[in-house]
Structure 1
Amino acid sequence: MLVTEYHEVNKAFPPGVADQDLLETCRQLANDLNRARVSLDELQDLTSMQHDKLQEEAMKRQIQEMDLDQHKEALSQKVRECYVKDQIIQDQGRFLQLVLENAQSKDQLLSSLYTQIEELKALLRKYGDGHLSKKRKL
């Protein structure tokens, strides 16, 4: 397109008629315009590549955020499960404490009964069966 414009300028102003400085200025402007268009194309390509990279990064970030949300939900679920397990363990601990206290109470009762039995045995040995049988006869 620029070459065509250059040739049109040359046709409109033949070298004998046209001012050589003006012709050179036009050539330089055409070259500058050509370079500017090439630079613009390069910039557009770079911009397009950067845009694609940014879109790719945005997609990666969205995927990472989704993964993070899934991990957060999984951790939250685990925390809830641990809380329930802790409650069960605490309830079992309280139950076992009650069972222990009950067993200790029964142990004390059995110890007391054992002591009473031993005292009765001692009384039996001391007074013997004969003393009890005499009282029965009376």
Structure 2
Amino acid sequence: MKIKLLVSEANGKYLYEPKTVAELEHILGAPVVLLKKPIYALGLGCVINVFRTVQALNIGLEVGTEKDDWSFIIRPENNFNPSMWRAFEDNAWRQIRKSHVDYPLWSQIDYEDAVAFFEEFRFGGGWPSKTGNPSGCGRYNNLSQVGGGNGN
């Protein structure tokens, strides 16, 4: 069982199936984001974090459906479109899991990163802190520590 990753050329006319990270980076002309625990035996789709890569490079991604013989197509000719991710999420999980119901083909840590990726779109990202400080130490979160509790 493999996760098949394809990439289109710049005009979108031809599809290629790169076999290595170096080959994919050469086609894209930029570094890709790797999974934290890549599984090389399961194909390039189990080495490349396709979600974070297309987000970082601002390029399109197509996610295969059940009937497709491919898992992901990276589309450099298109821009990253966050509004499409809700529609792609079910298919994306199917591609990561394939026939496995309880265990994803990606490692647990990478699976959790994919969950976080989709939650960013579902819930709009951001932090509970008004200042955007993820530590929770923003001036609105700990008023007693800053300015004697009056928010100054």
Query: Normalising to structure 1: TM-score of the pair?
Result: 0.21
Larger radius of gyration: 1
- Greater RCO, 1 or 2 (C-alpha within 8 Å, sep 6+): 2
Which has the larger strand fraction?
2
Question: Under a length normalisation based on structure 2, what TM-score does the superposition of the two structures give?
Answer: 0.19
